[in-house]
Chain A
């Protein structure tokens, strides 16, 4: 490529205010994230109105810092990319309104980006050789998607969760055994002390959707197990519960992912999303890929969590494909992957 294309990206779909400058869709020049986790911990989870309020307080500083760290002036930016869904509507709106005004004031094209597409594209950052087609499992606090990445910007959703997202199940189980929020890292840490095969929690199958997931049954099974122990006056091991729960999630994810890989004949598999930084899950998927001779990709934790660099990468490929958003761009909380 002869000319450098720089994207300024903004992400505010949940509780991270983030901005990034990405060069040619693969090189991250800056990746600034202002996290609100500590604040929401007071409430045991993300409070949408508080998240929105924090976004508006931080967004300009975060964008200015991203430009500064990238040593880039706004004039040198080719396009502005912004997450416009899915996510919390009030939170999304801050980023969308800001990005629109910024693009309008600076006379730059605007590209609305799907949050999940961003997570998938996070894999391009540290894996220069990775190109579609590949299979991707997106697992986060709000999403569980098994996606066939057919080409840049072209996605085929094979399976999704019918109820709770994987990360949501982690949060709920963590709360049930008194570990608190955020559940993912806390369960993972606790599970290290426990026996993953101590309690046979169910591995749910969805009858009419071979690739779909369901985690609410698993969550209920954990709650029932705890209740049962309490009624019988038995002491239960939180570590065993954490480990066995995590194993059940892992088994289901591995089984679905590997069936998708085999049935679609792809030889590359990637994971993405906040829960993808769970090392136990990652190792299980990596192992399963290795057994089948499939290349395994995963982003570093900093690109697994919500960030704007991934939006910049996705925005770059959309921009190069000629995608432009108009000034009516709205936040769409339940935006479907592959739709505009």
Chain B
């Protein structure tokens, strides 16, 4: 089975093709250039390098969020457009799950940290038994201190990864009471290969969706919605008083 993996949820843009136990190609760029310009040319390059017949793909896996709202939509729209053109199903891989899967087989528990601004991270907690990934804390948007508190409760060694590490390093060092280390460069950011490989696992479990139904999972309301909800809540409270 062959799966295309796309991730443009953060600063990294990454495209990969996995066929069964082989990574056929992976192209990852971690550079300040807009994903809207780079993602499709990267895919085109990958396709040409490995003479990929797009019709031979079994499904298209995409990092479905959380992440940069615009970045997520570029990845999603790309996957949706390909899915529509090729008549292929999509596999929605939660971004944080995909990041954790970079460290498949880890003895330490895995905690991806994506910078979500406002002192928050998109994060989750995972444990591996061989290649089996167990989710201890489902991906969520929380304060950095809150997730470290969860980690401390587990009383196990932890490995942190993701673009949130650099941002919250000082707080991790101050608050983390369990042994910890940071994942090295080749596995500490989003990778299309992880999306494709985990996507393949999901595909075998039948976890696919139509291209039409796919939409990113932002884990956050828009600012306008938040403000409106607060206003409505406030109005309701003042009415009740």
Contact = CB atoms under 8 A, between A and B. Distances in A.
Interface string A293-334: 000000000000000000000000000000000111011000
Interface in B210-225: 211-212, 215-216, 218, 222-225
A157 B80 CA distance: 37
A53 B73 CA distance: 8
B222 A97 contact: no
A67 to B, nearest CB: 9
B82 interface: yes
A136 B74 CA distance: 34
B179 interface: no
A97 B16 CA distance: 18
B224 A49 contact: yes
Given A56-B215, A93-B36, A330-B37, A101 B81 contact: yes
Nearest to A331: B36
A327 B40 contact: yes
5 contacts: A43-B224, A49-B223, A90-B70, A93-B73, A93-B77
Give the one of A61, A63, A102, A326 with max B CB within 10 A. A102
A93 B74 CA distance: 7
A60 B222 contact: no
Contact of B81 (A47, A105, A328): A105
B159 interface: no
A214 interface: no
B234 interface: no
Given A56-B73, A60-B80, A104 B222 contact: no
A326 B70 CA distance: 21
A314 to B, nearest CB: 21
Given A56-B216, A104-B82, A105-B86, A327 B44 contact: yes
Contacts of B222: 47, 49-50, 53
Chain A: interface residue count, which band? 35 or more
A50 B225 contact: yes
Instruction: Determine chain A's interface SS by DSSP, over half rule.
Output: helix
For the complex of A and B, 3 pairs with smallest distance between CB atoms: A101-B81, A105-B85, A97-B77
Interface string B60-74: 000000000110011
B86 A56 contact: no
Interface residues of B, number: 35
Interface in B19-40: 34, 36-40
B76 interface: yes
Given A43-B228, A74-B85, A56 B36 contact: no
B36 A101 contact: no
Given A43-B228, A49-B69, A105-B86, A98 B80 contact: yes
A42 interface: yes
A105 B76 CA distance: 14
Interface of B: 34, 36-41, 43-44, 54, 69-70, 73-74, 76-86, 211-212, 215-216, 218, 222-225, 228
Give the one of B43, B44, B73, B222 with max A CB within 10 A. B73
A105 B212 contact: no
Contacts of A101: 40, 77-82, 85
A340 to B, nearest CB: 15
Contacts of B43: 104
Instruction: Determine chain B's interface SS by DSSP, over half rule.
Output: helix
Contacts of A105: 54, 81-82, 84-86
A43 B225 CA distance: 9
Nearest to A90: B70
B70 A93 contact: yes
Contacts of B216: 56
A61 B83 CA distance: 12
B85 A106 contact: yes
Contact of A327 (B41, B70, B76): B41
Give the one of B40, B54, B83, B212 with max A CB within 10 A. B40
Given A56-B76, A94-B73, A330-B34, 9 more contacts: A43-B228, A47-B224, A52-B70, A56-B77, A60-B83, A61-B212, A97-B39, A101-B80, A104-B44
B40 A98 contact: no
A50 B228 CA distance: 13
Contacts of A49: 69, 222-224
B9 to A, nearest CB: 14
A135 B63 CA distance: 48
A99 interface: yes
Given A42-B228, A47-B224, A60-B212, A104 B77 contact: no
Contact of A97 (B73, B86, B211): B73
A42 B36 CA distance: 30
A55 B216 CA distance: 11
Contacts of A52: 69-70, 73
Contacts of B212: 60-61, 64
Interface in A71-104: 74, 89-90, 93-104
A89 B222 CA distance: 16
B40 A100 contact: yes
A99 B70 contact: no
Contacts of A241: none
